[in-house]
Amino acid sequence: MNEEIKQPEKPPAANQRTRLNTFNPGPLYAWPMGIWFIIFFLAPLLIIIIYSFMKKGLYGGVEPVFSLNAYSQMLNPKYGILVIRTLKISLISTVITILLATPCGYAMARSKHQTLLLFLIIIPFWTNSLIRIFAWMSILNNDGIVNQLLRKAGFIKDHLQLLYTQGAVILVSVYMYLPYAILPIFTSIDRFDFSLLEAARDLGATKAQSMYKVLIPGIKSGLVTAIIFTFIPIFGAYTVPLLVGGKDSYMLGNIIVDQVNKTRNWPLAAAFSMVITVISTIGVMLVLISNKNEAALNKTSTKEDNYVSDKTSSGAAK
Partner 1 sequence: MMKKAFIGIMAAVMVCGTIGLVSCSKKGSEASAEAGDDGNFAGQTLYLFNWTYYTPDSVIQKFEKEFGVTVKVDTFDSNEVMYAKLKAGASGYDITFPSQDYASIMIKQNMLREIDLSKMPNKQYINPEVLKKATYDSEMKYCVPYYMGAAGVAVNKQKVKNYEKSWNIFARTDLKGHMSMMDDMREVIGDALAFQGHSVNTLDDAQLESAKNLINKQWKPNLVKFDAEGFGKSFAAGDFWVCQGYAEVVFGEVPEAKQADMIDFFIPKEGGPMYIDSMVILKNAKHYNLAMAFINFIHRPEIYAEFLDAFHFPSFVNTEASKYMKTVPMYKAEEMANCELKEDVAEGLEKYNNIWQEIRFEAN
Partner 2 sequence: MNTNSYFALKKSLKKSKPPTENATHARKSWKKRNPHLSFSKTILFLTILLLFIPLFVIIIYSFNSSKGSDFTGISLIWYKKLLFGSGDLWSALWNSLIIAFTSAVVSTILGTLASIGINWYRFRGRSFIQTISFLPMVLPEVIIGVSMLIFFSGIKMPLGLFTIFAAHTTFCLPFVLLMVSSRIDEFDFSIIEAAHDLGATESQTMRKIVIPAIMPGIMSGFMMSVTMSLEDFVITFFVSGPGSTTLPLYVYSMIRFGVSPVINALSFVMIIATCLIAFTLRKGLKSFAGNR
**Residues 80-119, interacting with partner 2 (CB under 8 A):** 100, 103-104, 106-108, 110-112, 114-115, 117-119
Q: Which stretch binds partner 2 (CB under 8 A): 76-84, 147-155, 160-168, 188-196?
A: 188-196
Binding to partner 2 by residue 63, rule CB under 8 A? no
| Distance in angstroms (rounded) separating the CA atoms of residues 186 and 180 | 10
Binding to partner 2 by residue 6, rule CB under 8 A? yes
- In DSSP terms, which residues pair with 60 in a beta bridge? 58
Residue 53: which of partner 2, partner 1, none does it interact with, CB under 5 to 8 A by kind? none
Alpha helices in the chain (DSSP H): 26-37, 43-52, 69-74, 77-110, 114-122, 129-140, 145-152, 166-190, 195-202, 207-210, 216-218, 220-235, 239-244, 252-261, 266-298, 303-306
For residue 266, the one-letter residue type is W
Residue 232: which of partner 1, partner 2, none does it interact with, CB under 5 to 8 A by kind? partner 2
Please, which of residues 276-295 interact with partner 2 by CB under 8 A? 276-277, 280-281, 284, 295
Please, which of residues 158-187 interact with partner 2 by CB under 8 A? 175, 178-180, 182-184, 186-187
CA 144 to chain centre: 32
| Distance in angstroms (rounded) separating the CA atoms of residues 75 and 55 | 17
| Distance in angstroms (rounded) separating the CA atoms of residues 91 and 141 | 25
Residue 120: which of partner 2, partner 1, none does it interact with, CB under 5 to 8 A by kind? partner 2
Question: Which position among 13, 14, 28, 75 is part of the footprint of partner 2 (CB under 8 A)?
Answer: 28
Question: Which position among 3, 131, 153, 312 is part of the footprint of partner 2 (CB under 8 A)?
Answer: 131
| Distance in angstroms (rounded) separating the CA atoms of residues 183 and 105 | 7
Q: 156 or 316: whose CB is closer to partner 2? A: 316
Alpha helices in 38-76 (DSSP H): 43-52, 69-74
* Minimal distance, residue 117 CB to partner 1, in Å: 30
Site pattern 244..283 for partner 2 (x: CB under 8 A): ---------x--xx--x-----x--xx-xx--xx--xx--
| Distance in angstroms (rounded) separating the CA atoms of residues 223 and 259 | 34
For strand 54-56 and strand 62-66, is the pairing parallel, antiparallel, or unpaired?
antiparallel
Question: Which position among 205, 246, 250, 264 is part of the footprint of partner 2 (CB under 8 A)?
Answer: 205
Q: 69 or 268: whose CB is closer to partner 2? A: 268
* Minimal distance, residue 47 CB to partner 1, in Å: 10
